[in-house]
Structure formats: C-alpha cells, structure tokens
Structure 1
C-alpha cells in the first residue's frame, strides 16, 4: 500500500470519528452550563436561572419549620383524678357495726377491687346502686357512695382509688423503643413524659420528628424542640396517636460530584456547601466550580421575592447558580439552604470534553494506523 493510500485511510478514519462525535456527542454526566442556561425564561424556556447573592439567600433561605398549633398547645392537662369510662376503681367500705350490710361476720371492712367504669360512665355498688363515676374525681365518688350508704348503715367510711385503666390512653408507634398503648396517668400526662414511658426514640434524637394525631388534626415537632421550647410539650388527650419518624427529607446529587444518588439529610439544616461535602465534594479531575446548580420548585410567594416581581402565579421552576470561584462564592454556598426534594447538579469543566475529544481522535489515529499496517 502506497503512502497516499495510507494517508487516505487515516484521514478517512479521523473524519468518520469527528463526524460521529459531532452527530452523537461524547459521553458525559449531564448538560453543560450553556444547555442549562438555554432553558431560562429569557431564552424561551420555562425556568428562572438565578445567580445566588446575599439577597437571594435571604429570600430563599427558608428552613423547615415544625411545631404544634394552638389547638394542641392550648389544651390543659388532663386531671389525673378525673375518672373516665374504662377506668378501674378500687373501693374499701368500713361499717361501724359488727354485722354490716357488706362486711361478713366478724369483719367491718369490705374491699371491692377492680370495679370497672362501664361505657356509660357508671359503676355499681351493692346497696348504693348505680353511681355516675365518669367525669367525677375519686373524692366526689366517695361522697356519693357515703351518702347512699349512710341511710342504711351507721357512719360508713369509704375510700376510692383509681387504678391504671384503659379509659384515657394514647398509642405510640414508629421509631420508639416500646411501641404500644399507654394509659394517661399522673406521671405521663405530657408528651415528653409519655415518650419516656415508652422507652424513648430509637433514632438519632436530632433527626427524630414526633407527630401527634388528635381527631382530624395533626401536628408535628422536632424531638429536640420538645425540650428547647416547653410550649411544645403538650398535654395529651384520650385517643391521641403518636408517631415517631426519622427525618424523611433528601436531595439528589448529580453530575461531577463524588457520588450521584438520592442523599438523606444528616442535619436539620443543610447548606449547599455541606450537601456537596456530604457526597464527597467536587470531582477534582472533572468538576467545574463555576457551574454548581440547585434545581427547585419554589412557591410563588418565595419566587416573587427572589425574582423581584409580583406577576408570578403558582409554583415556579428556579435554577440557582453558585460560582464557587467568586470572592464571596464559598460564603454564599455556605449560606444557601438546601431543601427537601432539591437537585444539586455540578457541570463538567469545558476542558473535560476537549480531553475526551482528543482521546477519541488519538484512538482513531491508532485505529487508522492499525488498518494501514494490516493493509501492507
């Protein structure tokens, strides 16, 4: 094979690979900066591309807020002495005679243990009849029984005590060491006391959330806030359902980062800089520190503040741009808060594509040389 033919084969191979690269593109981790900016509203796209500044951080820096409404915080503690349907009482009745109405021969005291308050709120006591116990205190029930028996036996003495019953209970499930149904008693009338009674949370306390469902209303609070803000240590009510969960928030990391995956939050608040560090940082051989993007669906209220306009209606797609090479870039990334569902994307540096192209061309030249050698 002559030199002309050899050069023709090499040129043909190089032309084919360059044409292929132009038509199909080289492998890469995602869109480049130019392609992302092309999706801007200014370029007839459907997203707002915003460079992060101190003003943007102030408008977009909304941390997740949990707490109980006044429906929960305004409820007073359940009286520990208030009897309810389902409670169990113990009655002891002394009679001032040797042969009384209730006591046997030679005894002057009668013990009626495990007297349960029925669904209508009543108990039955021999010779005293049916007595309303629900919504009364043990002392009130004692007086009622004494008055009923006083007409039939001289100077009766009555003692009424309340045992732990199932009249006022809460259920506790989820990430708790002792799931179950617990009675509201004197020591466990508040949320923190009841959680302690159930053995405490079984996940990292700083990432635990406590949800209370009461009737048709639901409230959630961070576990740590129960101790930092006493108003959240709410009084419990009969039928409350308490669910302890681990923090379910996450963000997605893509592009030239140390890991590309769905990443759970490890702290209550997470900055863009911390999110990047959490996935192993930027890839030193490919990442473009001027092209760190955070993609988010913003409410119109926040979007209006960020964009400085009042004509936005409904959820808006915003792409926040962080340039870590700017003098204030690292500080802005440190202050920019990541929220649940965000996508953190880092573009590849421009030279990476050039490097891939050169590698492909170099490989093509090698292939052309091999073809030439085979043709000789």
Structure 2
C-alpha cells in the first residue's frame, strides 16, 4: 500500500517529467526565432517592420514589353506573307504592250507565288519583295518598276490564296485558336476580345506575347490601366494567357496552414493573413507575426543600412499587430512569391498545454494509485 507521502512524491515527479517534455506545437516560438538571428550567431537577420522596411521591401519584379514591342505600329490583315499566291493584272496604254498579248490591253499574271524569302518575279519589273507589304503597296512598287518600260501602266494586285497576318491565342481564354489580324483586333486587348475574353479571373491573369526570340509579359488589368502597353500585334505573334503561379506558405496559429496562391496582383501581409481565415483567436500571438524570405543583396542592404553584404540574405521580418500602427504596417508590407508567413502561439497556450498535460497525467496516476490501494 502506498502512503500519502509516496503519492505526493509521485505527483511531483510527474509534474517535472511533463514540464521537461516537449509539448505539441505548430512551430518555434518567438524566443527560438530571435535566438536564430545573426546578431546571436544565427543564420538569418531578424528585423522589426517599420515604415523604412516597408518602403525598402516594396519591390515587385518588373514585367513588361520590350521597346521593340511598344514602338511597333499598327498593321492590317492584308500583309503579304511568304507562300501567298497573288494575281496581278497590268493594263497598258499602248496597242503593242510589253506584257499584253497582241490586240489585248491587259496582261493577266495568275498564281504568282511569294517564295520563302518573300520575293516574286514580274517580267520587266524584276525580282520584287512582296512579303511585308500590303497588296496596295505592292501595286505601287510594281507600277513604279514598269513605268520605265511602258507608259503609265495601271496595276491591280489581289491575293488568291494565303492566310495573311495571323496570331495564335492559347491558355486561359474562351476560344483558343489562330486568328487573322483585322481592323478591330490589331492590338493585344482587341485580339483577346476576339478570342472570347478570359476564362480565368482577371485579377490573376498574366498575358505573355512571344515574337520570334523575344518575349514580354503584362498583367491583364494593366492593359486597361495603362493604355500605352496595349501593343500592336505582328504576324506570327503567340499570345499565352495563364493564371498567376505565385504563392506563399501560411503556417502557425492561423485559420489554415497550406500553400496559398495569390488572389490579387499585389498582396500585403494583412491580406495574406485574411486569405487563410485570419489569426486563430484561441492560439495566435498578435505580437509574433513573421514573414520569412530570401532577400536580394540590394534590398537586404537597403533594409539593414549596410554595404558589406554579398548575395541573397535570409531575412525574418517581424510584425507586431498590437502596436498603434501595427495594422497599418501589416497593410503596407508586401508579400512576395515564395514567402513563408508564420504566426507563433501565445505564451499562455503553452502554459495551458502544460497544465492540461499535468492534470491529465496526475489524474491517471491517482487512478492507478487508488486501484493499487484497493488491491
């Protein structure tokens, strides 16, 4: 039979054992994160967010079109391309023309094909570049070439076969396909409308235009906010519409713990927290909101006011939502692709877990003792 003193000793042993054990939790606490700072021989810079930090870190990767795209003028649908087949009629103002048959006033040149280099051959006019010109411009060129051979020639040029200038549109649009460049869709926004508009949310739609070896990217909404980037299209352009692939990871005492895609073009810390259901009011420490990222050398030096850093730096940004301007700083602090947003548990939560573990373990021990006393 156990004495009361023995049971008290056993209870104290249980308390010590539970206190020494690692209790379940979602991640490190504030003290452990701060202990990993470079200032304490750790491997990351731990920085409290203030107005200077929000400005220094408000760096959004630049996207846009190269100058060659923005400076291109509008084209028509009737641009002649290599492989097109043309028909030309040449009217001459003389009875004995150089091209017309005896007794005829016009010469009909059917099925003149544009070669792979973009040229055609016209008797007495020579080899003429047709690709890149409209039929009207080619008519003027042929007329000028023949004018030295026959007086006041009249030339008609028409396309017999060929697609003309076209653009392919794929990805998140209602109607993927190859579309001719026509008057209503000679710009990027017009072509997207021709393809039926977007099939993905416009807030996260990213538009890429591939032209030869060059590529440019813009956000869909910027096409309407900044009309100057609504570029003119060129034959062979490939337009890709895709959903934004950026995401951050939410961990700790929040409504969810998962990888979270961006829902808007720009995302602040307060929006990121709200996107996963906000802080868990029963667990979260509003003084312990951390944003972890690998920061570029340039930004890290701006944040820390140093010039001796080399390469990317591990940064841990600390937000205290209980400060008078804490919510404003969280609203202004930009979240970037690949960030980890982590919220620590409030200190009392660990105490509560400890007490629950102690009382639960002590209750189990007491039951065992009573069972032993009854034997």
Residue of structure 1 equivalent to 2:271: 274
What's the CA shift for 1:221? 0.7
State the number of aligned residues.
370
Which structure 1 segments of 5+ residues have no match?
none
Picking from 10, 13, 19, the partner of 1:12 is 10
Offset from partner CA, 1:160-210 (integer Å, 9 cap, x none): 234783453332221122222333344433222222222222211222111
Tell me the C-alpha RMSD between the 2 structures: 3.5
Offset from partner CA, 1:284-319 (integer Å, 9 cap, x none): 111101100010111111111111111111111111
- The answer to whether the 8 A contact 2:119-2:128 is kept is yes
- When residues 2 and 30 of structure 1 are mapped into structure 2, their CA distance, relative to the original with a 3 A threshold, is closer
Residue of structure 1 equivalent to 2:67: 70
Picking from 365, 370, 374, the partner of 1:373 is 370
- Residues 1:188 and 2:185 aligned together: yes
- Residues 1:316 and 2:313 aligned together: yes
Residue of structure 1 equivalent to 2:58: 61
What TM-score comes out, normalization by structure 1 length? 0.85
What CA distance in whole angstroms lies between the structure 2 residues aligned with 1:218 and 1:333?
35
Picking from 350, 354, 366, the partner of 2:351 is 354
- When residues 251 and 136 of structure 1 are mapped into structure 2, their CA distance, relative to the original with a 3 A threshold, is closer
- Residues 1:227 and 2:245 aligned together: no
Offset from partner CA, 1:107-128 (integer Å, 9 cap, x none): x99795x765332334578999
What's the CA shift for 1:351? 0.7
- When residues 369 and 102 of structure 1 are mapped into structure 2, their CA distance, relative to the original with a 3 A threshold, is farther
Picking from 188, 211, 214, the partner of 1:214 is 211
- The answer to whether the 8 A contact 2:288-2:318 is kept is yes
What's the CA shift for 1:211? 1.0
> Is 294-303 or 75-84 further displaced after alignment?
75-84
Which structure 2 segments of 5+ residues have no match?
none
What CA distance in whole angstroms lies between the structure 2 residues aligned with 1:143 and 1:2?
115
- When residues 10 and 95 of structure 1 are mapped into structure 2, their CA distance, relative to the original with a 3 A threshold, is farther
What CA distance in whole angstroms lies between the structure 1 residues aligned with 2:148 and 2:314?
81
What CA distance in whole angstroms lies between the structure 2 residues aligned with 1:143 and 1:213?
32
Q: What secondary structure does 1:338 align onto? A: coil
What CA distance in whole angstroms lies between the structure 2 residues aligned with 1:147 and 1:225?
45
- When residues 193 and 259 of structure 1 are mapped into structure 2, their CA distance, relative to the original with a 3 A threshold, is same
In the TM superposition, 1:1-376 aligns within 5 A as 1-4=1-4, 8-9=6-7, 11-12=9-10, 15-16=13-14, 18-19=16-17, 21-22=19-20, 24-78=21-75, 82-89=79-86, 91=88, 116-123=113-120, 132-142=129-139, 158-162=155-159, 165-166=162-163, 168-375=165-372, 376=374
What TM-score comes out, normalization by structure 2 length? 0.85
What CA distance in whole angstroms lies between the structure 2 residues aligned with 1:90 and 1:142?
11
- When residues 354 and 91 of structure 1 are mapped into structure 2, their CA distance, relative to the original with a 3 A threshold, is same
